[in-house]
Amino acid sequence: MLEWMDSLRGRSLMRLASFTDEEMLDLVNLAGQLKARRAAGVRGNLLLRKNIALIFEKSSTRTRNSSIIAARDEGGGAEYLTRPDIHFGKKESVKDTARVLGRIYDGILFRGFAQRTCEELAEYSGVPVWNGLTDDYHPTQILADLLTVKETFGSLDDCTVAYVGDGRNNVANSLMMGCAKAGIRYVCCAPRELWPDEAILAEAEAVAKRNGVDIRVFSDAKTGVKGANVLYTDVWVSMGEEAKTAERIALLRPYQINMDLMAATGNLNGRLMFLHCLPAFHDFNTEVTKQTGALEVTDEVFESKYSKVFDESENRMHTIKALFVSALCDRSAV
Ligand code: CP
Ligand code: NVA
């Protein structure tokens, strides 16, 4: 019997702070239940005749496919809409698009640039809206990360996550809040220029304090990662910031995750994993890495026994399904 909190019904996700700590952890728990159910061969009807619009302004492999399959697995449907496909923001305002799609669909997942666009869709559509990544936040990613940590270590207790790289990007912002809400110690290792935004840090610090953990920020990665159980990184240049590529590579080269840095945790023989939201630059087999010659993680770490990136990637689907089901499922169907 699947279980989740009633308070999640009809809810939007703008950022992790949209949920209470308990609700966020309940979503992770529901995702685990849905994953086990799917592994047992069940494709159900939890989203029967529910239709979800996927508005994407930026590229995606995981979020797009996870959303489509999450809906389809449970009898629902998802329609992929990019900016050139619809009038969004060109001939029709975000507000009008929201009101139109809200009459047709049961929910909207948005990936794009401005956080405000996501908020406007939620304000005017009248249906749940989920943030599938904006310039500021990537909350659905962190639900998958928490599920991966929980599965690998058996619980989220007594855990330290060290994020190494661009400490103020969308993934880092959401990871910091996700850890704070889950009672996980969070360490950010980044050059000063890329330390977290002060307001976002202060908000997460207040949550961390309430949950008895702390957030620490270091410029020296080797010092910062000492004692960490999870080393996490992301690309050095996020979508939309391509003009800053040379500057970022120069700043972040000392922050590459390699075996030396993994060893600096002191946990090579203990509880240790490597996570990355993906896509990752870990070898020279992509157009971008052939041009830049820069990798945020070595192939040795990426392919090592510590790397749980493909579990993490799969968990995007189960956690997005948990969001859809908890918001849209009619419990009498369960
Ligand atoms: N991690 C993640 O969001 O991947 P995509 O950009 O492929 O959706
Ligand atoms: N920070 C990255 C995450 C990609 C999933 C980006 O915004 O491009």
How do residues 221-275 score in pLDDT, each as one tens digit?
A: 999 999 999 999 999 999 999 999 999 999 999 999 999 999 999 999 999 999 9
Is residue 103 included in any domain, yes or no?
yes
Quickly list DSSP for 221-245: HHHHTTT-SEEEE--SS-TT-GGGH
Same domain flag for 147 and 288 = yes
Residues in contact with 191: Cβ distance below 8 Å, sequence separation at least 6, in sequence order: 219, 251, 252, 254, 255
Digit-coded pLDDT (tens) for 154-211: 999 999 999 999 999 999 999 999 999 999 999 999 999 999 999 999 999 999 999 9
Query: How confident is the model at residue 43, as a pLDDT?
Result: 86
Domain that holds residue 302: 141-313
The answer to whether the CB of 171 is under 6 A from ligand 1 is no
283 & 235 share domain: yes
pLDDT(334) > 80: no
Average pLDDT over residues 94-112: 98
Three-class DSSP category at 164:
strand
- Give pLDDT tens digits for 158-167: 999 999 999 9
CA pair distance 325, 34, nearest whole angstrom:
10
Mean pLDDT of 112-116: 98
Q: Which atom of ligand 2 is nearest to the CA of 237?
A: 8
Residues 199 and 172 placed together within one structural domain of the fold: yes
Pocket test for ligand 1, best of 278, 312, 317 (most atoms within 8 A of CB): 278
Residues 33 and 164 in one domain: no
Rounded Cα distance between 22 and 174, Å, is 16
In a domain, 132, yes or no: yes
Q: Is 133 in the pocket of ligand 1 (CB under 6 A)?
A: yes
Q: Which of 62, 138, 185, 282 is flagged as catalytic?
A: 138
Tell me, in angstroms, the distance from the centre of ligand 2 to residue 137's CA: 9
The answer to whether residues 59 and 197 belong to one domain is: no
Amino acid sitting at position 251: L
The rounded percent of the chain whose pLDDT value lies above 70 is 99
Model confidence pLDDT, tens digit, residues 319-331: 999 999 999 998 7
Instruction: List the CATH number of the domain containing 19.
Output: 3.40.50.1370
152 and 299 together in one domain: yes
Look at residue 333 in the predicted model and tell me its pLDDT: 59
What would the pLDDT profile of 21-41 be if each residue is shown by its tens digit? Answer: 999 999 999 999 999 999 999
Whether the CB of 288 sits within 6 Å of ligand 2: no
Domain count, the chain: 2
Gap between the Cα atoms of 268 and 265, Å rounded: 7
* Catalytic residue status for 118: no
Predicted pLDDT of residue 324: 98
Same-domain check for residues 83 and 178? no
> Which helix (H) or strand (E) covers residue 291, if one does?
helix 287-292
Same domain, 243 and 287: yes
Q: Does one domain contain both 308 and 320?
A: no
Q: Assess if residue 1 is contained within a domain.
A: no
The reply to whether 327 and 290 lie within a common domain is no
Contact 278 CB / ligand 1 (< 6 Å): yes
pLDDT of residue 304: 98
Predicted confidence band at 89 (pLDDT cuts at 50, 70, 90)? confident
Dist CA 74 CA 51 (whole Å): 11
In a domain, 54, yes or no: yes
User: Is 186 in the same domain as 280?
Assistant: yes
